[in-house]
Amino acid sequence: MTNFVQLQQVSLKYNEEESALALYRTSFGVASGEFIAVVGPSGCGKSTLMKVVTGLWPATAGQVMVADKPVTTPLNFVGMAFQNPSLLPWRTTLKNVMLPLEIVEPHASRLRSDREAYEAKARELLALVGLKGCEDKYPWQLSGGMQQRAQLCRALIHEPSLLMLDEPFGALDMFTREELWLALQDLWIARRPTVILVTHDLREAVFLADRVLVMSARPGRIILDCKIDMERPRRLERTYEPESVALVHELREHISAARAKAAA
Amino acid sequence: MSVAEIYDLPPVTRRKSFFERKAVRRALPWLVIIAMFVFWELLVRVFSIQEFILPAPSAIFQSLWQWREPIAINAWQTLMTTLIGFGLAIVIGGLGGIALGSSQVAYDGFYPALIAFNSVPKVAVVPVLVIWFGIGTIPAVITAFLLAFFPILVNVATGIATVEPELRDVLRALGASRKQVIMKVGLPRAMPYFFASLKIAMTVAFVGSIVAESIAANAGIGYLMLVASSRFEVPLAFACLIVTGLMGVAMYVVCVAIEQRTTGWATRGADGVAFGS
């Protein structure tokens, strides 16, 4: 079986200078429905990886394949979420969540006639992440964690086959973050999209992902591909058990080594 | 202290000071204006300043009443001139702002020329306009437009150009076209900027039409002021100034009212912003 996402020797340069090399001969694959996490020292090109996979930035060399097609222009079905919730302040939570439906086909052309069905779907999704009753509130009336939940819903409303998350929980306190891990896990189990999660938080990576990829310092390459063999759904206590702790330590060592190498 | 005890404590209350009362807040702008006129009147009377230097408010209002008909006709002329120029500025400034805000190439290409153009004093343009269009309404409309369109264009362009990059990525990865990004995010986002610029543009449009009228016209408040001062009817000239001020405030209030209705989301929580900028 071929992978849903496949990177083959992908390099990316911002410009002609040598120091502008963000990715260098990066190769990895993600199976359909798989949840992977990408970790690495800061500035190693993790966010660049997101842009290359989604086609927002064309690769300088190598090939990116998504759904068996080479990526040359931006994809048109990917759900994305970032550290900054970036909800539209003039729209209610419900309208914010429904934004992708106005753009992605076939939903965009059906939205007018099937408005009620789509709205019910959005409400259901909001209820799933614990935002029942917030549908008609504006983003500034929600807390940071609630905005982040709404952003997740916006990324998922059109049931994308690929979900790209760039440190979506980075700005949240630990308790909210852990709550959202569970919410994300539930959503993933229910829908089974392919997920690529970029994160700084190794516990988060180990808790959520099927596989954790460690990137080297710039120019970024994958230096470790670590399979996390744990049952689903995982419970939060799991992250404090020796097996998880050992994995976090192992990943941490690899990253410090990569940082030391970059500094040398 | 237990929870029950906390609820037993008397509620915290504080008397509102005089300036915190709502009615006082409402009346404050009017009180300031009235106080200003009273002070002015006293100043003129105490120092017995002559009428052709600084007329007293009483003389100005008397003159306003005496010449009410020509003032009304000319004020109407100025209002129409300004509104036509302002309308043109909204259309062309708005469209130009969208074009410049959504295309880096257009921005880089046109912006320096626009800055240069905006630096030219518009008073100096009026004689040229007179050569082209003759004395009358058209030079005044064009002057009002020339002064008003730049702030609108710059603000709309800024609003559209500063869409958060993450949001743009979210939409583009969903397959949104450039037009869709502008329609769904850029334009709504630019609305607060647009209305902020309308308040500036409205005021400078009045400046433009009145300046042009006082240079080359045979109607309008600017023309009337010119006639009044050449005949040493100084109270009439001041009456014209007051009417101009009133028209400016009235149009400003209209702009703010529309702004409040359409972009309340941008000024949430701030009460009493009707006269704020």
B268 confidence band (pLDDT: 50, 70, 90): low
Tell me how close the Cα of B179 comes to any Cα of chain A, in angstroms. Answer: 11
CB contact under 8 A, A84 and B266: no
Q: Are A104 and B174 in contact (CB under 8 A)?
A: yes
- Of the candidates A51, A77, A84, the beta carbon closest to that of B175 is on A77
Q: Tokens 């080594």 appear where?
A: A257
pLDDT beyond 60 at B269? no
Q: What is the pLDDT of residue A18?
A: 65
Q: B170 contacts in A (CB within 8 Å)?
A: 80-82, 86, 154-155
pLDDT for A95: 92
d(CA A246, CA A230): 13
Whether residue A263 has pLDDT greater than 80: no
CA gap A111, A88 in Å, rounded:
19
The residue with greater pLDDT, A155 or A264, is: A155
Q: What does the alpha-carbon distance between residue B78 and residue B141 come to, in Å, rounded to a whole number?
A: 9
**What integer pLDDT is reported at residue B5 of this predicted model?**
66
CA A41 from centroid of its chain's CA atoms:
17
Which residue from A209, A160, A159, A218 is spatially nearest to A30, judged by alpha carbons?
A209
Look at residue B277 in the predicted model and tell me its pLDDT: 34
pLDDT-derived band at B271 (thresholds 50, 70, 90) equals very low
Q: Smallest Cβ distance to B184: which of A82, A102, A104? A: A102
Chain A contact set for B171 (CB, 8 A): 99, 103
Q: Which residues contact A35 (CB under 8 A, 6 or more apart)?
A: A188, A194, A195, A197, A208, A209, A210, A211
Q: Please, where in chain A does CATH 3.40.50.300 lie?
A: 5-78+162-263
Question: What local confidence, expressed as pLDDT, does residue A1 receive?
Answer: 53
Please give the Cα distance from B197 to B54 (Å, whole number): 34
* Over residues B28-48, mean pLDDT: 93
Say how many residues make up chain B.
Answer: 277
Phi-psi region of B114 (alpha: psi -120 to 50; beta: other; left: phi over 0): alpha
Res A255: pLDDT: 86
pLDDT score at B57: 93
Which residues neighbour B102 within 8 Å (Cβ) at sequence distance 6 or greater? Answer: B160, B161, B178, B182, B186
Among A103, A152, A194, most B C-beta atoms within 10 A, so best to mutate, is: A103
To 5 degrees, how large is the angle CA B83–CA B87–CA B91? 170
Which of A55, A86, A105 lies closest to B170 in CB terms? A86
| Average pLDDT of span B222-246 | 92
Nearest CA in chain A to B190: A90
Q: Which of these, B108, B212, B210, B90, lies nearest to B151 by C-alpha position?
A: B90
In the predicted structure, residue A11 carries a pLDDT above the cut 90: no
Contact criterion met (CB below 8 Å) for A239 and A207:
yes
Please measure the distance between the N-terminal and C-terminal CA atoms of chain B and give it in whole angstroms.
Answer: 48
Measured distance CA(B238)–CA(B228) in Å, rounded: 9
State the Cα–Cα distance between residues B86 and B99, nearest whole angstrom.
19
B residues 191-210 lying closer than 8 A (beta carbon) to A: 191
- Could you tell me the pTM of the whole model? 0.78
- Confidence tier at A235 by pLDDT (50, 70, 90): confident
pLDDT grade, residue B273 (50/70/90)? Answer: very low
**Cα-Cα end-to-end distance for chain A:** 41
pLDDT of the residue at A194: 93
Number of H helices, E strands in chain B: 12, 0
Average pLDDT taken over every residue of chain A: 87
Q: How far is CA B95 from the centre of its chain?
A: 20
Given a cut of 90, whether residue B63 has pLDDT beyond it is: yes
Q: Is the pLDDT of residue B19 over 80?
A: no
> For the residues B104-118, what does the mean pLDDT come to?
89
The answer to which of A47-56, A104-113, B112-121, B233-242 has the lowest mean pLDDT is A104-113
Report the pLDDT averaged over residues A17-43.
84
Sheet holding A69-70, edge to edge: A21-30, A5-13, A61-66, A69-70
pLDDT surpassing 50 at residue A234:
yes
Q: Each residue of A38-78: pLDDT tens digit?
A: 988 877 778 888 888 888 888 888 888 888 888 888 888 88
Q: What percent of chain A has pLDDT over 70?
A: 98
Strands A61-66 and A5-13: antiparallel
Helix (H, G, I), strand (E, B) or coil at A3: coil
Number of Cβ pairs < 8 A linking chain A and chain B: 66
Reading the block at residue B144, the tokens are 């009002």
Are the beta carbons of A56 and B169 separated by less than 8 Å?
yes
CATH number of this structure's domain A5-78+162-263? 3.40.50.300
Q: Is a pLDDT exceeding 60 seen at residue B75?
A: yes
- B191 chain-A contacts, CB cut-off 8 A: 90
Question: Tokens for B199?
Answer: 């308040």
User: What are the tokens at A210?
Assistant: 């099927």
Q: Minimal CA–CA distance to B93: which of B37, B48, B145?
A: B145
H/E element, A139: none
Tokens coding B213: 């009228």
Q: In terms of DSSP bridges, do strands A79-82 and A162-166 run parallel, antiparallel, or are they unpaired?
A: parallel
Handedness of CA B200, B222, B62, B53 (dihedral sign): positive
Q: How far apart are CA B243 and CA B67, in angstroms?
A: 12
**Over residues A20-43, mean pLDDT:** 86
**Do residue B188 and residue A56 have CB atoms under 8 angstroms apart?**
no
In the 8-state DSSP scheme, what is residue A214? E
Which of A5, A76, A153, A154 to substitute to test the interface with B, most B CBs within 10 Å?
A76
pLDDT value at residue B276: 36
Please report the pLDDT score of residue B104 as a whole number.
85
Instruction: Please say if the pLDDT value at position B275 is more than 60.
Output: no
Which B residues in the span 154-193 are in contact with A, Cβ-Cβ below 8 Å? 164, 166-167, 169-176, 180, 184-185, 188-189, 191
C-alpha to C-alpha distance for A176 and A183, rounded to whole angstroms: 10
B19, B25 in Cβ contact below 8 A? yes
pLDDT value of residue A26? 85
Which residue ranges form the domains of chain B, and what is each CATH number?
59-263 (1.10.3720.10)
- Residue whose C-alpha is closest to residue A207's, from A172, A180, A176: A180
In whole angstroms, what is the distance from residue B69 CA to residue B224 CA? 12
Residues A186/A13, Cβ–Cβ less than 8 Å: no
- By Cβ distance, the residue of B166, B174, B180 closest to A86 is B166
Nearest CA in chain B to A104: B174
What is the per-residue pLDDT for B4?
63
Distance CA B277, CA B256 (A): 9
pLDDT digit string (tens) for A116-132?
A: 888 898 998 888 888 88
Mean pLDDT, rounded, for A12-41: 83
Give pLDDT tens digits for B137-194: 999 999 999 999 999 999 999 889 888 888 888 888 888 888 888 888 999 989 989 9
Residue A17 and residue A32 in contact, taking contact as beta carbons nearer than 8 Å: no
* Band of residue B1 on the pLDDT scale cut at 50, 70, 90: low
Q: How many other CB atoms are found less than 10 A from the CB of residue B93?
A: 26
Region of poorest pLDDT, from A103-107, B49-53, B142-146, B262-266: B262-266
